[in-house]
Structure 1
Amino acid sequence: MSVWTLDDIPWDAFDPTRVDAEMLRIIKAAALTERNSAQYALYLRNVFHDDPAFGAAVDLWAEEETRHGDALGRWAERADPGFDFQATFRRFVEGYVIPTDVSQSVRGSRTGEMVARCIVETGTSSFYSALRDAAEEPVLKDICRRIAGDEFRHYKLFYTTLQTTLARENVSRGRRLLVALSRMQETEDDELAFAYHCANTPDRPYDRATSARAYAARAFSRYRLTHVERGSAMALKAAGLNPQGRLGRLASGALWRYLRFRLWRMADEVRAGRARPGHSMAA
């Protein structure tokens, strides 16, 4: 379990002159998705309904994720006094609901579920590491450092559970890879896009493509090669592949080129005026 609380954050060190307005937009969105962890915990407890030990671990995981959202939300309110975190969160959960009344994983197996969770934690640990290294505001840097550390431990929790479920279910490496790739593609689903909309453009009609592009443009630009390399290795490991050697280099290189290509395409669309009305990165 995480050993820090909101009281451990050096709030008095907050420096409004060092707030990055573009980073603030993605922090607001991230605060909402982190705070919504209770829904995912309920889903996971239902999937692992006969495993009380894992259920207890999930409860602790959800507690830490909620703390992440509260920390980011409090920081966002300091950076933007007009931002109401609780009201924005209510708007988000009213519009984005995940099915929790289940008894089996939507991934087809518990092993598939743990692969998917590892991919999520790979993404969040990389994301907060990138924000930590990019942030100039000292309190945000401290918060991101704490969250990144938690997310790496969460990956370990789900990876360890993955080894247990794999021994029982014997899910093929090919199937695990498909689940990993599928979960990576879901990073552009409604959750982050809708969170970005609720936090930044609630007065406009929701458009998934617009919000997804606006979020991605700001998030991807914070990554550096080192973040991609570590994330790629974690993803390969979860899929049952060796992250070392040539495969690891190929995977991280391909992912890095993809991120740079996406940024180039989004910037090029804006410069050339090809983006549809209301679909620019300025959202």
Structure 2
Amino acid sequence: MHYYRYSNAEVSCWYKYLLFSYNIIFWLAGVVFLGVGLWAWSEKGVLSDLTKVTRMHGIDPVVLVLMVGVVMFTLGFAGCVGALRENICLLNFFCSAIVLIFFLELAVAVLAFLFQDWVRDRFREFFESNIRSYRDDIDLQNLIDSLQKANQCCGAYGPEDWDLNVYFNCSGASYSREKCGVPFSCCVPDPAQKVVNTQCGYDVRTQLKSKWDESIFTKGCIQALEGWLPRNIYIVAGVFIAISLLQWLTDLKGRPRDRSIWKKKEKNLLAKQEKISLPT
């Protein structure tokens, strides 16, 4: 009878619960994203009439929240169950998905750098599409307002882009009170005002263009973002590197776990075989 010695054949309990603790946080974050997304859709009546999803114009920010939630929930669940149950298939799925997401992020970053004109055109189309739908979705409206206020910009390339919206259009066919105006998020803030004036953009584009910059931002948001990126390149690079390291550490945590489980299973199998081979 032959005896085999396997080093580290037992799965480390400390390592097991470290991996579980990491993934439970990931899983709970996914639950929060899903909960917020479903609550937002419930408030907008989408859950009671799912056909509204296909009738939405522009990009609904809630969809992005739900997509992130689904990915985080799925990966967190696979990591938690895989760590607790020592399930190699789930751990391999978790690690492979993390690596895939990392390379997708890397590919997107490289392609965005190489095809800057294409990215700029897609962002312009995205922004103009959402300008048209500005009053149709409160979440989309808040997203655009936040973007314009944070970057002190107005429209994709300037305030005239708001002609794309039926409420702000300057044409004679429009009877909206907001005609020839811009959203309040385009207005230059008045330090003396403690309450936000949501009507500050009314009729502003009926004035001479030379006077626009006295009351509203005249720089387009694409130009503002193009200027923001070089100024904050180290922050962007740092965030990307931090996320990448976190993903690789997650993968490195899972791979040794797989090997420990395989060793444990192999040891148990050999023990069973030796037990069967013993004379009765």
Structure having the larger proportion of residues in helix? 1
Please, what TM-score do these two structures have when normalized by structure 2?
0.28
Q: TM-score, normalised by structure 1?
A: 0.28
